[in-house]
Structure 1
Amino acid sequence: MTPAPGDSAGAGARHPEGPLLVALDIDGTLISYDEVLSDVVRDAVGAVRDAGHEVVLSTGRSVVAIREVADALGLTDGYAVTSNGAVTVRLDQAEPQGFVLDDVVTFDPGPALRLLREQLPDARYAVEEIGVGFRLNTPFPDGELGGEHEVVPFEDLWEREVTRVVVRSPEHSSADFHDMVAGLGLDDITYAVGWTAWMDLAPLGVSKATALERLRRILHVQPHRTVALGDGFNDLEMLRWAARGVAMGHAAEQVRAAADEVTGSVDDDGAAELLRSLLA
């Protein structure tokens, strides 16, 4: 009989307390900023998976942008958290797109977009189309957004509820984004600032942590059996949620401070270092 998602043959025998739930960020954690996945990290992920633990990709990427990474890691079943927690999928190679939607949380992006446009009239804005790509007001640089892209008038970006809004403004720093959102009083959204020119908006209260907690309950993993690894500001809640939250060595000071421990940088295969420790 084929194990159900979250089950692993022999896992109970290997782990008297049950498997670990291991949540892994992708960019800057498993793969470098040049989109390189090292053999060392790939093999370490495979070893943790083969040991019967629940390996869950937990990323700000859209679901269409994780397929290649999941395949490279050998993650052909189980769950993945995408869009910073707004979209959870069950990986399934039998499906045309390689996944089945498991949970989706949406919000009305109109109020936030209108306010942000007043402050950032020249920024690029995009809203996610689940399993397809993005609708955007002007093209983004090649490779920054996965899937298909449709350029539409700015006002059309809020014609329906969405899971995620992306704001790109190269002229502004991470600190600028934080200050701007605080000053605008956007109390009905969750926001995460990525690299210098990037900010994600999500439904209020939604984060990687909220999606992972839901999965933890579905998979019947005990709270003390949770591990999370990440490097970005959108990983803060996830690192605090996990019983063992681990930050990458190159992460910002605020991210490292939120973690229980710090591993090596992405250039030093810090993810592999952490993953190997789970097998000790």
Structure 2
Amino acid sequence: MSEASSWTPKLVALDIDGTLLKWVEGAGTTYETIEQSVYDAVHRVLDAGAHVVLASGRSPHGMTPIAEMLDLRGQLIDGDDDRVWVVASNGAVVFRHPPLEVVHEVTFDASSAVAAVLEHHPEALVAVEERGVGYRVSKHFPVGELSGDMILTDVEDLVKGPVSRVIIRDPAATAEEFVALAAKLGLHGTNYVVGWTAWLDLSPVGVSKASGLEHVTDNLGLTKHDVLAIGDGRNDIEMLQWAGRGVAMGQAVQDVIDVADAVTESVYEDGAAIELDRWFG
């Protein structure tokens, strides 16, 4: 994006974990609190009449508390209500809130991809969202990594029907091992993204945070050129490339930094607030 001074974002897309929320070192979870500087910056965006859209790999169940902590509100346009738009499950689910209403969802058959990964990592954990409750899981995930309840379910039953997203997690492996495995397998029929540790998200082909946000902008009469997006993870790459301005958090991995238009400070220095104040300060 050019640095034209006349450009002002009309929609701000914000990742949650590592962008709005800090990681608890070594615990695989986040502090479920929003720093005051980040909260205030988000409300300057809202007060200016721009939209704020959360875009995360989290399930809808794990995102509504963050929307409520931020006191998000929608913008009234052409008679539309003031419920917020939220992009969940790495773009496979788009919903309005409150109350939670799914308005767009893409599903796929994940059985062959899951089987291929488990052939190489037979002890890996598998999870599929159980909307409004939590997740159905093959084994319990480490504490704090999934929101809501965990319901033990056989792997075959987890993926016997269409799903919007599958999580595969191996606490004994590394992110680098999963990156190499995903590239080796090709995972035909799915998109994949490797997280901050040995965590693999499988989604339908063509689905990403960018595709979910495009559904939102289409409904709001906006385009990608109106969007400022901020994120830190590999699942933010398509979003940062798609947006009019894509900004990586300071602690992001190099793959994310390489595609960003700019890099702000780290989440520990409230980098999201610093970037927002550049446009809405």
User: 1:19 Cα deviation (Å)?
Assistant: 6.3
8 A contact 1:168–1:199 mirrored in 2: yes
TM superposition outliers: structure 1 runs of 4+ over 3 Å: 16-19
- Residue deviations 1:241-278 (CA, integer Å, cap 9, x gap): 01100000111111111100000000000000011112
Distance 1:33 1:137 in 2: 25
- Determine whether 1:25 maps to 2:8: no
Note the 1:162-173 alignment, pairs <5 A.
Answer: 162-173=163-174
8 A contact 1:18–1:221 mirrored in 2: no
For 2:177, the equivalent position in structure 1 comes to 176
The code of the aligned residue for 1:204 comes to V
For 1:54, the equivalent position in structure 2 comes to 51
How many correspondences in the alignment? 260
For 1:113, the equivalent position in structure 2 comes to 114
User: 1:86 Cα deviation (Å)?
Assistant: 0.5
If the length of structure 2 is used for normalisation, what is the TM-score? 0.89
For 1:75, the equivalent position in structure 2 comes to 72
Distance 2:48 2:192 in 1: 35
The code of the aligned residue for 2:148 comes to G
- Residue deviations 1:193-236 (CA, integer Å, cap 9, x gap): 11112111111110000111121111111432111000000000
Give the alignment partner of residue 40 of structure 1, picking from 15, 37, 41: 37
8 A contact 2:8–2:279 mirrored in 1: no
- Residue deviations 1:123-146 (CA, integer Å, cap 9, x gap): 111112233321111111222111
Task: Show structure 1 runs of 5+ residues with no match.
Answer: 1-15
- Determine whether 1:91 maps to 2:97: yes
Which piece of structure 1 moves more, 256-265 or 171-180?
171-180
For 1:207, the equivalent position in structure 2 comes to 208
For 2:263, the equivalent position in structure 1 comes to 262
Distance 1:150 1:215 in 2: 32
Distance 2:218 2:252 in 1: 29
The code of the aligned residue for 1:226 comes to V
Task: Show structure 2 runs of 5+ residues with no match.
Answer: 1-5, 25-30, 74-82
Q: How large is the Cα RMSD of the aligned pairs?
A: 1.6
8 A contact 1:58–1:80 mirrored in 2: yes
Distance 2:121 2:19 in 1: 30
Distance 1:181 1:232 in 2: 16
If the length of structure 1 is used for normalisation, what is the TM-score? 0.89
SS at match of 1:114: helix
Distance 1:238 1:17 in 2: 19
Distance 2:64 2:140 in 1: 23
Distance 1:91 1:210 in 2: 19
For 1:236, the equivalent position in structure 2 comes to 237
- Residue deviations 1:130-179 (CA, integer Å, cap 9, x gap): 33321111111222111222101221111211111111112222221121
For 1:9, the equivalent position in structure 2 comes to none
